[in-house]
Amino acid sequence: MKNLSLLVSALLLIFFTSCKQEKAVEKVPENVIGKHMLELESDIMTPEILWAFGRLSEVQISPDLQKILYGVSYYSVEEDKSNRELFLMDVNGENKKQITTTASGEYGAVWRPDGQRIGYMSAASGSMQLWEMDADGTNPRQVSDVEDGISGFLYAPDMSKVLFTKEVKIYKTVVDRNPDLHKTTAREMTDLMYRHWDSWVDSFSHIFVASYEKGSLGEAFDIMKDEPWDAPLKPFGGTEQISWTPDSKNIVYTSRKLEGKAYSKSTNSDLYSYNLESKQTTNLTEGMMGYDINPTFSPNGAYLAWESMERDGYESDKSRLFVLDLATGDKTYCTKDFDQNANGLSWSADSKSLYFISDWHATEEIYKLDVASGSIQKLTEGVHDYHSVVEAGNKLIATRVSMSKPQEIYSVDPSNGEATELSFENKHLLDQLTFGEVTKRWVMTTDQKQMLVWVILPPHFDENKTYPGLLYCQGGPQGTVSQFWSYRWNFQMMAANDYVIVAPNRRGLPGFGQEWLEQISGDYGGQNMKDYLSAIDNVKQEKWVDANRLGAVGASYGGFSVYWLAGNHEKRFKAFIAHDGMFNLEQQYLETEEMWFADWDLGGPFWDKSNKIAQRTYANSPHKFVQNWDTPIMVIHSELDYRIVASQGMSAFNAAVLRDIPAKYLYFPNENHWVLHPQNGVLWQRSFFEWLDKWLK
């Protein structure tokens, strides 16, 4: 349920322009989707403009520290698809150049260790394969020809080998066992975890190693053999969960080597080291019972750092920074006295320090750990979220977003935290738009604690006018309400429709210490709901908020929150929107797939009458307050959401109609826990504001 931010969405018309790119192209394929150099008719954001932003990702620094390689995804609403292109620029932001212009897109691009060529994945030949091009983007050539394609790759540091990941079928299907019934669509299950997030578990991601010589791959072998588990972890893990040792002799990878019910109830992933000479696999984190992920070796090969959670079954436990001394075998918990998460680890060139990203008081900043002393220094401060950081000489190259700006690349001075933008991917749109002011306030909760609340004002705000207000209910439930930029739950998009947005960092969110984060587990419908009401009750006192025109909106746990508030809001709100929310918690316990989440956060199964925490949870299920519903509600849900299945939304909608409550049900048969298709995304925005405007304006 965690609001993992990394995910795709959609855009506008389709035409390619080279106005801001330096590469000249004689002929561009008609179906290439490129940057939209739009001349806007208004300075107010619309859904179409939101989806026109280029989405920058996967920043890579060349081995000589002189160049930045990155990709940008562009979307077409008309074509209902996306395309991704690669760019180069100097580390000072100069000499920006687009180096690909294809209809197939380029993904996972990295510098070859010698810096002479760039490796990337492309489906130009049909399936996704490894390709290479010269360092200036010329002479593209297919390197691999793997059956059914690959999903990721990494060069060995000495360039003698390449590892790649691909799907492997382990279990026989119904058709395999009944070849004469080759048209049957049946599935048979004898254990849990038969589907996950948005797909059925039909195959597993494995790591293969192939020799690499003169730009060609040799025969590959599966280092995981016939093992029925994934590396990297699905559904969100990538090559960041795999690492070569600097001497190219070992591969360390992340995996949770459990099956069925055991897999569905555990978060215990470990780091495994595979030796290419002996073919032996060693568990490096045996006995460490939570998530252990994202291994990264120091440049000198002396240390291995990774992110670790302590408790099995708790997916939102503190993300700890651990370092393994490879010579002695000693493991050091480097952030023991640091009451914050540590993510996105990156070594300094001298192997003495680690940079990482951490959320504190609703912004994500860059920190630096001195490995020898254990001291931690905060390097940046501001109203923004950093997403990644890597050292490049005397500067840091980082990516950053805010509620008012999509992701861009910055150069950061580690001595003072000063940041200089380099990429300017979306400047042509941002310069034409007026965004609302983002303000911060601290609100007293019902238990006399201070809660940080973001308030986003409409563009061209007039304090002498009154505006309807929207309470934003966060998902996760432990997803951060920091300075994130979203392509669906976008606060500037909401503000552009003349709403005042109230986004509280209620109980259960990171960035305020573990006690604040963990209070929500086993207390659904409890203190965090009081926190929501404290926030909206505070802001509605402002003269520019119309207390009689308030709405509440949210997705996932935020959708649960909306359903719960619908039965307990004491007539504060005039409209609700719940997306992919939990409506019936007893139903949810038996419908979801990652049982570790249900066991930890709900407290356990509803049939355990001796479990007071679980019984309190189920007593607060939103469906038990439907008799109190009196406010129009819009329900949004998707068929491919296996985390919170579509019947939850359908049940809530049916209940509203049966109670004669004005209701609307927006259903997407081809979406999962998010809305990822361009036309669906624009429709989502239009429907969202049509509903709110109907009841609040």
| CA dist 578 → 294, 479, 520 (Å) | 34, 17, 20
What tokens were used for 168? 């492997």
Quote the CA–CA distance of 244 and 359 in Å, as a whole number.
29
DSSP 543-612: TTEEEEEEEEEEETHHHHHHHHHHTTSTT--SEEEEES----HHHHHHH-S-HHHHHHHS-S-TT-TT-H
Give residue for tokens 């389709």. 14
Compute φ and ψ for 617, nearest 5 degrees. Answer: -60, -50
Q: SS3 of 557, please?
A: helix
393, with CB counted inside 10 A (0-12, 13-18, 19+), is exposed
- How does DSSP assign 505-547, residue by residue? --TT-SSS-HHHHHTTTT-TTSHHHHHHHHHHHHHTTSTTEEE
550 close to 540: Cβ distance less than 8 angstroms? yes
Token digits of residue 452: 């940080």
Which residue is it, tokens 């380029």? 106
Instruction: Compute φ and ψ for 332, nearest 5 degrees.
Output: -120, 125
Rounded CA separation 516/405 (Å):
28
Residues found in the chain: 697
Please report how many Cα atoms fall inside a 13 Å half-sphere around the Cα of residue 296, on the Cβ side: 22
CB 244 within 8 A of CB 223: no
Joined tokens for residue 321: 């920074």
In Å, how far from its chain's centre is CA 412?
23
Of 52, 46, 49, the C-alpha closest to 33 is 52
- The candidate with the shortest Cα–Cα distance to 626, out of 589, 651, 645, is 651
Which residues are CB-neighbours of 240 under 8 A, at least 6 positions away?
A: 232, 294
CA dist., res. 562 & res. 580, Å (int): 11
246 Cβ contact partners less than 8 Å away, ≥ 6 residues apart:
157, 297, 298, 299, 300, 301
Question: Is 196 tagged catalytic?
Answer: no
In contact, 540 and 552? CB cutoff 8 Å = no
In eight-state DSSP terms, residue 434 is: -
Looking at 358, 402, 641, 651, which residue is catalytic?
Answer: 641
Q: Which of 482, 556, 638, 651 is catalytic?
A: 556
Active-site residue, 673 included: yes
β-strand 633-638 against 663-668: which pairing, if any?
parallel
634 beta partners: 577, 664
623 is catalytic: no
**The one-letter amino acid at 437:** E
Are 73 and 82 contacting, i.e. CB atoms less than 8 angstroms apart? yes
* Catalytic center residues: 556, 641, 673
